[in-house]
Amino acid sequence: MFDFNVEAVFGAVAIVFALDTAMFVMLGIVVGITTGAIPGLAHSLPIALVLPFSFFLPIHQTMGLLIGTYQGGTYGGSITAIAFGTPGTPGAAATVADGYALTRQGKGKKALQMGLYSSVVGGLFGSLVLIFLVVPIGRIAPRFGPAELTALYFMALSLVVVFSTENAGKGILSAGIGFFLAIIGRDIITGGLRFTFGIRYMQAGFPLVPLLMGFFALPEIIKQIHTVITDPEHAGQVSEDGVLELPKKAEPGLGLKEFLGSWKGTTIGSVVGTFLGALPGPGATLAAYTSYSVTSQFTEDKSYGKGSLEGVAAAESANNATCGATFIPMLTFGIPGSSISALLMAALIMEGVPVGPRVVIDHTLVVYTIFLLMLVANPFNLIFGRLLIPVFTRLTKIPAVVLWPTIAIVLVIGTYAYNNRPFDIIMCIVAGLIGYFYRWFKLPDGPLVLAFLVTPLFEASFRQALTISRGDPMFFVQSPIAQVLWVITALSIFFFLRKKEPG
């Protein structure tokens, strides 16, 4: 355990509130928001690109740049999700349903502002939890072994029920397809090849980023291009040659009342995001989906799922809340819980700070600096987000004939740039055709994304637990943590099923 070290706090304040540090945080935020908003380019890429800077920049500048990029990128993904129905990062996929629906109703500005404010609230909450509860939470994280994780992931999978309320058959069908897509490729434990159909490149499986980008973006691109060709009058200002068709009158922004009205979504999102962020593995996408589906059970908003500000708040506060929490296992044990924290850890090592269980004690100043940077990044995010919202509100007014081919092109390059694998482009297109089928056949997309995200985690923990216990199923209910999780799962399934009865 460590106590607050006042001297280190003042030291950190002096470092963080210096002009040069602030400049680097700002630069990071701008780079993050911009690249986050490019579909296909998840934000780990800009962070990896910033990494070599740690060779020559001092530590607070590097950290400012990295943390700014991380926070900005996590927020940036929601911009395109709301404006074009194309999530910029996987974490923003849950925002598409409500955010894009709002844009089509002409409330894009409100949705963008809701996304920004809830992101900032979620980010602040996650950072504060990181600062005050890093040690206690960090000590709990390793207690989640294979058996406990199996229970946790089963709980996440049970949320599929929530998405299946309208048509149970289609919900199950969608989850089944998600399961299947997730297991394509090399087996996570043995490396055996599953359903690769003899194609060499399929060995790498269905990567998350191309899947989500294609799945959400391509159906919209197809629809828009189809309209442009067959029905030009209704495809926006096709014959107008001006690029920026400025709106005749300003769209109303988000009122304080509307923002506070979504308090349930924001609160659930912040808590769920922080909890799932602290555990190694799940990450922002799962947090956003979990929060989005949990909120759907508590909201009074009738338009939830069809253009609700609360839906945007639930998803966006959750994905930004994971930002702070994801560093908890790293700062307590020196074990990176996500690819992002692995990158940050690498940067710290390159700066000469060995990250281990004693990092909080041996390098208190550095750790406080990171904490403060996490906090400071949020206001900057707010400022730049506010500045960029008018820009993106205008971008949505670009004629369809210009806009959608450009998005298609950026999608193709972004997908390639993420892992430098040409085959990812094909996977993205295949995912897009699946998404197109989903739209046509009216399948809910929530079960697919949840099943796709959780299946690999669930399968690994489940099989590991069975191996450790030598096949004894009682192993899953032995620890108190696992017991609590199973009870919550059972209760929530019961609750979800009861709730849908009247409707």
* Least gap, CB of 298 to other proteins (angstroms): 27
Angle 243-244-249 (CA atoms, 0-180°, nearest 5)?
A: 150
Residues 414-443 that bind other proteins (CB under 8 A): 416-417, 419-422, 425-426, 429, 432-433, 436, 440-442
* Least gap, CB of 339 to other proteins (angstroms): 5
Residues 60-119 that bind other proteins (CB under 8 A): none
- Report the candidate in 132, 123, 130 with the shortest Cα–Cα distance to residue 378: 123
Residues 357-386 that bind other proteins (CB under 8 A): 357-358, 384
* Least gap, CB of 346 to other proteins (angstroms): 4
Closer of 48 and 133 to other proteins (Cβ): 48
Among 256, 391, 474, 501, binds other proteins (CB under 8 A): 391
Closer of 18 and 225 to other proteins (Cβ): 225
Among 58, 253, 356, 379, binds other proteins (CB under 8 A): 356
Angle 338-62-411 (CA atoms, 0-180°, nearest 5)?
A: 55
What's the rounded Cα separation, in Å, for the pair 26 and 437? Answer: 42
Gap between the terminal Cα atoms of the chain: 50
In degrees and rounded to multiples of 5, residue 21 shows phi and psi of: -65, -45
Stretch 26-65: interaction string toward other proteins, x if CB under 8 A: xx--xx--xx--x--x--xxxxxx-xxx-x----------
How many binding residues for other proteins (CB under 8 A)? 127
* Least gap, CB of 417 to other proteins (angstroms): 4
Closer of 313 and 457 to other proteins (Cβ): 457
Instruction: State the amino acid at position 148 in one-letter form.
Output: E
Among 248, 249, 257, 470, binds other proteins (CB under 8 A): 470
Do the strands 193-194 and 185-186 form a parallel or antiparallel pair, or are they unpaired? Answer: antiparallel
Residues 222-281 that bind other proteins (CB under 8 A): 222-223, 225-226, 228-229, 232, 238-239, 241, 243, 250, 280
* Least gap, CB of 4 to other proteins (angstroms): 21
What's the rounded Cα separation, in Å, for the pair 391 and 378? Answer: 20
Supply 440's token pair: 């046509």
Residues 279-298 that bind other proteins (CB under 8 A): 280
- Report the candidate in 491, 430, 393, 473 with the shortest Cα–Cα distance to residue 177: 430
* Least gap, CB of 172 to other proteins (angstroms): 4
Strands (E), 312-412: none
* Least gap, CB of 453 to other proteins (angstroms): 14
Residues 154-173 that bind other proteins (CB under 8 A): 167-173
Q: Say whether residue 206 binds other proteins (CB under 8 A).
A: no
Residues 318-347 that bind other proteins (CB under 8 A): 329, 333-337, 339, 342-346
Cβ atoms < 10 Å from Cβ of 238: 16
What value does the CA radius of gyration of the chain take, rounded to a whole number of Å? 22
* Least gap, CB of 246 to other proteins (angstroms): 10
What's the rounded Cα separation, in Å, for the pair 76 and 94? Answer: 14
* Least gap, CB of 3 to other proteins (angstroms): 18
Q: Say whether residue 490 binds other proteins (CB under 8 A).
A: no
Cβ atoms < 10 Å from Cβ of 403: 20
Q: Say whether residue 452 binds other proteins (CB under 8 A).
A: no
Q: Say whether residue 22 binds other proteins (CB under 8 A).
A: no
Answer whether 105's CB lies under 8 Å from 91's CB.
no
Q: What is the DSSP letter of 185?
A: E
- Report the candidate in 204, 209, 206 with the shortest Cα–Cα distance to residue 186: 204
Q: Could you tell me the CA-to-CA distances from 436 to 26, 167, 221 in Å, in that order? A: 38, 19, 10
